[in-house]
Amino acid sequence: MKVMVTGGAGYIGSVVTEELLRGGDEVVVYDSLYKGHREAVVEGAAFVKGDLLDTALLRETLAHHKVEAVVHMAADSLVGESVKVPAKYYRNNVLGGLSLLDAMLGAEVKYLVFSSTAAVYGEPAKQPIEETDPTQPTNPYGETKLAFERALRWYDSAHGLRFVSLRYFNAAGATERSGERHDPETHLIPIILQAAAGQRPEVTVFGDDYPTPDGTCVRDYIHVVDLAQAHILALHALAKGHPSSIYNLGCGGEGYSVKQVIDCARRVTGRDIPVSKGPRRAGDPAVLIASSARIVRELGWRPTQQKLDTIVESAWRWMQRKR
Ligand code: UFG
């Protein structure tokens, strides 16, 4: 297939591009580089530097490259920032998304795979979280992702634009060439590894009084390559007539606490990782675990790198190579 990946110069976008190219699909990356990195765009993919709000350029890109499907990953994704600057999230995640949909309708592109998030659930009603559970986001990030998901439903019924929305839990890990590099970095695993590498003095544990076995928050970490594979399955299913659907993407199981992730990183790196205790971070649910049974059942998704050690090792190897 010919696929346009918005946000393909970002962490997950570059891995999705790698996996698409490896499977024989053609890719054009569309990215403003406002957060992405030009060098993260995978060799073999075409590249267009452009803003999501530039509907004309999007439409021209879709037409010029004869794109058949879009993977839409370009977005702002920091929970804390979204609470402080909601306008940015509504502009980029909702207006930007609608601009993309207009361009797709104009260029007659009918399939979209969307990067959604566990943040659409808010404070979950139960664990593991299923797609049918209530969606009550507690911040503008989750709210804007949900707003766009809802828009997709109506574009499907009005225009036949079919979509798969993938609600990511905690994406982590790296491939040989692509890994996680945000500025500022807020995610747990890269922060821990930066501390292991001596690039920051310590890791602050945000709260150790949660109602979890060791008092720290529990998350469902999923290897970025397993995540990328789900996009490819979704694209190919859409092309074969699969109806619009929403899927959680996590590894399920018991998840891992912040303390367990730190212990794992100590094991994997063999380094000392200084830790300090801090207050809870606003808006952090105690536990977020996905039920991914639906995507396993309907698309045959099979994660292959579920062990936390494997995920952390891959991120560490990538970080060591980068230096
Ligand atoms: N944490 C720390 N110290 C740090 C960084 C993180 O203790 O320096 C903790 C957090 O409090 C949280 C856990 O580590 O309990 C994981 O935090 P991340 O920031 O790595 O990931 P989140 O679970 O907060 O965020 C993920 C996605 C978001 C999504 C969210 C859904 O990255 O995009 O899940 O709630 F919105």
What is the per-residue pLDDT across 12-56, written as a single tens digit (0 to 9) for each?
Answer: 999 999 999 999 999 999 999 999 999 999 999 999 999 999 999
**Upstream peptide bond of 190 is cis (omega within 30 degrees of 0):** no
Q: Residue 93 in contact with residue 76, Cβ under 8 Å? A: yes
What number does the ligand 1 atom closest to the CA of 219 have? 23
Q: Residue 30 in contact with residue 46, Cβ under 8 Å? A: no
Phi, psi of 27 (to 5 degrees): -130, 135
Q: Which string of b and e fits 169-188 if b means at least 16 CB within 10 Å?
A: bbbbbbbeebbbbeeeeeeb
Bridge partner residues of 48 (DSSP): 30
- Domains, the chain: 2-171+221-249 (3.40.50.720), 173-219+252-322 (3.90.25.10)
Q: What percent helix, strand, coil does the chain show, rounded to 5?
A: 40, 20, 40
Please tell me if the CB atom of residue 258 comes closer than 6 angstroms to any atom of ligand 1: yes
Mutation probe of ligand 1 site: the residue of 12, 203, 258 with most atoms within 8 A of C-beta:
258
Please tell me if the CB atom of residue 116 comes closer than 6 angstroms to any atom of ligand 1: no
Please tell me what DSSP assigns to residue 240: T
What is the per-residue pLDDT across 128-150, written as a single tens digit (0 to 9) for each?
Answer: 999 999 999 999 999 999 999 99
Residue 170 alpha carbon to ligand 1 centre in Å: 8
285 backbone φψ class: left, alpha, beta (φ>0; ψ -120 to 50): beta
**Residue among 278, 279, 275 at smallest CA distance from 201:** 275
Residue 80 alpha carbon to ligand 1 centre in Å: 10
Please tell me if the CB atom of residue 217 comes closer than 6 angstroms to any atom of ligand 1: yes
Retrieve residue 248's tokens: 């959680």
What is the per-residue pLDDT across 145-156, written as a single tens digit (0 to 9) for each?
Answer: 999 999 999 999
What is the per-residue pLDDT across 44-60, written as a single tens digit (0 to 9) for each?
Answer: 999 999 999 999 999 99
What is the per-residue pLDDT across 69-94, written as a single tens digit (0 to 9) for each?
Answer: 999 999 999 998 999 999 999 999 99
Please tell me if the CB atom of residue 77 comes closer than 6 angstroms to any atom of ligand 1: yes
Please tell me if the CB atom of residue 234 comes closer than 6 angstroms to any atom of ligand 1: no
